[in-house]
């Protein structure tokens, strides 16, 4: 019997996304944040990522600069045209992803026109995963789901996904999506050492529904980085405790945070943002260090407690990344 091959230690290992056939690297690189970069720098970053096995990229843009990002991302991926099948490209459409506030952001019109704009600006022929971000209370869920199913049938997106939704809505939407033959392949969820609310019900619901999970903001929007913003006594105390745990593992705090997020088998990939290939190289080392001892997990729980079983509902953020 042929044994499964073990990925090289210097390459990011892939994980299957839910019950779909989609396999995604344990690390996904978000290109939509940070300062404006020349296309040559983006191409350098994409090549560095591919060399590390980070072949998954999210091109969701800040709403005020989406057209330029789509164009720059398309040019950055252009050299990989003949190897497009090696890339996993995703984006979000929904609240907060347009230049201005919109009513009906979950409507068929906005989903389909938003995707067409992305594809035209980037010169891409399709996305691998299209996420609908947040539920639109002004649009029937059936309309949102049928639009997702249609873009999948048209081949403009190969898989449909959800982003920043409650567990109850996840079940409802995924059930409808399955009926429309476009089941959710993945769900984007805010998840980090400083934001463990997803452990209460979201992660278990995703597993029950056989939906993959992309852990967004695993570095807590920079709060788990030594150079991150914020000078509260609580953050300094937390970083000191985590630095001690990380050092005992031969890791930085950022690497520890990523390893911890990925040690949960329900998580398919962690979404990070950086414009520095060297920084990405340091982050990717965490993907092969996802095993923790009971002592290490207990120490992490002591400084970053898990949510109480009956804690109040978490206010879903405008952006999961």
- If one compares 60 and 67, the residue with the highest pLDDT of the two is 60
Q: What is the 3-state secondary structure (H, E, C) of 136-175?
A: CCCCCHHHHHHHHHHHHHCCCEEEEEEECCCHHHHHHHHH
What digits encode the pLDDT tens for the residues 153-210?
A: 999 999 999 999 999 999 999 999 999 999 999 999 999 999 999 999 999 999 999 9
Of 32-36, 138-142, 191-195, least confident by mean pLDDT is 32-36
Contact partners, residue 266, CB within 8 Å, separation at least 6: 203, 204, 206, 207, 213
Looking at residue 316, its pLDDT comes to: 47
pLDDT category at 308 given cuts 50, 70, 90 is confident
% residues pLDDT > 90 (the chain): 73
Report pLDDT for 300.
98
**pLDDT in the model for residue 306:** 94
Cα–Cα distance between 289 and 220 in angstroms, integer?
20
Least confident of 22-31, 92-101, 172-181: 92-101
The reported pLDDT for the residue numbered 311 is 54
Q: Choose among 161, 166, 49, 76: nearest CA to 115.
A: 161
pLDDT digits (tens, 9 = 90+) for 232-283: 788 888 999 999 999 999 999 999 999 999 999 999 999 999 999 999 999 9
CA distance 207 to 126: 27
Q: Is 85 exposed, middle or buried (0-12, 13-18, 19+ CB in 10 A)?
A: exposed
- 276 vs 321, higher pLDDT: 276
| pLDDT at site 63 | 59
Measured in whole angstroms, the distance separating CA 268 from the mean position of its chain's CA atoms is 9
What is the Cα–Cα distance from 9 to 11, expressed in whole angstroms? 6
Q: Between 3.20.20.70, 3.20.20.100, 3.30.1330.10, 3.90.1150.110, what CATH number should domain 14-221+264-286 receive? A: 3.20.20.100
pLDDT at res. 196: 96
219 versus 100: the higher-pLDDT residue is 219
Which residues sit opposite 186 in a β-bridge? 161, 212
What's the mean pLDDT when you consider all of the chain?
Answer: 88
pTM flag (> 0.95):
no
- Looking at residue 65, its pLDDT comes to 73
User: Using an 8 Å Cβ cutoff, are 179 and 207 in contact?
Assistant: no
Q: Quote the distance between the C-alpha of residue 131 and its chain's center.
A: 10
DSSP notation for 285-307: GGGG-----HHHHHHHHHHSPPP
Q: What H or E segment, with its residue span, contains residue 178?
A: helix 167-179
- Domain spans of the chain, in order of start: 14-221+264-286
> What is the Cα–Cα distance from 58 to 20, expressed in whole angstroms?
19
> How far apart (Å, rounded) are the C-alpha atoms in residues 115 and 108?
11
Give per-residue pLDDT as tens, 103-119: 667 899 999 999 999 99
**Is the model's pLDDT at 61 over the cut of 80?**
no
Q: In the numeric block, which tokens belong to residue 225?
A: 């980085």
């Amino acid at each position: 019997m042929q044994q499964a091959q073990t990925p090289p230690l210097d390459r990011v290992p892939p994980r299957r996304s839910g019950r779909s056939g989609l396999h995604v690297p344990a690390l996904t690189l978000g290109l939509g944040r940070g300062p404006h970069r020349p296309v040559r720098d983006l191409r350098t970053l994409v090549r560095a990522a591919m060399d590390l096995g980070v072949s998954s990229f999210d091109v969701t843009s800040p709403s005020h600069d989406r057209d330029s990002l789509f164009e720059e991302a398309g040019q950055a991926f252009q050299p990989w045209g003949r190897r497009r099948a090696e890339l996993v490209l995703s984006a979000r459409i929904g609240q907060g992803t347009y230049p201005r506030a919109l009513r009906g952001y979950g409507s068929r019109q906005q989903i389909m026109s938003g995707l067409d704009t992305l594809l035209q600006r980037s010169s891409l022929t399709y996305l691998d995963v299209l996420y609908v971000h947040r539920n639109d209370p002004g649009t029937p869920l059936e309309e949102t789901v049928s639009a997702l199913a249609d873009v999948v049938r048209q081949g403009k997106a190969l898989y449909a996904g959800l982003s920043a939704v409650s567990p109850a809505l996840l079940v409802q939407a995924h059930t409808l999506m399955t009926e429309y033959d476009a089941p959710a392949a993945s769900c984007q969820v805010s998840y980090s050492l400083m934001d463990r609310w997803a452990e209460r019900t979201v992660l278990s619901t995703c597993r029950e529904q056989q939906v993959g999970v992309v852990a967004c903001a695993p570095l807590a929007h920079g709060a788990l980085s030594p150079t991150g913003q914020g000078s509260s006594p609580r953050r300094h105390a937390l970083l000191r405790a985590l630095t001690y745990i990380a050092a005992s593992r031969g890791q930085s705090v950022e690497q520890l945070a990523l390893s911890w997020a990925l040690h949960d088998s329900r998580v398919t990939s962690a979404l990070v943002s950086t414009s520095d290939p060297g920084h990405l190289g340091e982050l990717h080392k965490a993907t092969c260090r996802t095993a923790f001892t009971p002592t290490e997990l207990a120490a992490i729980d002591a400084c970053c407690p898990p949510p109480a079983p009956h804690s109040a509902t978490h206010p879903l953020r405008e952006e999961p990344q």
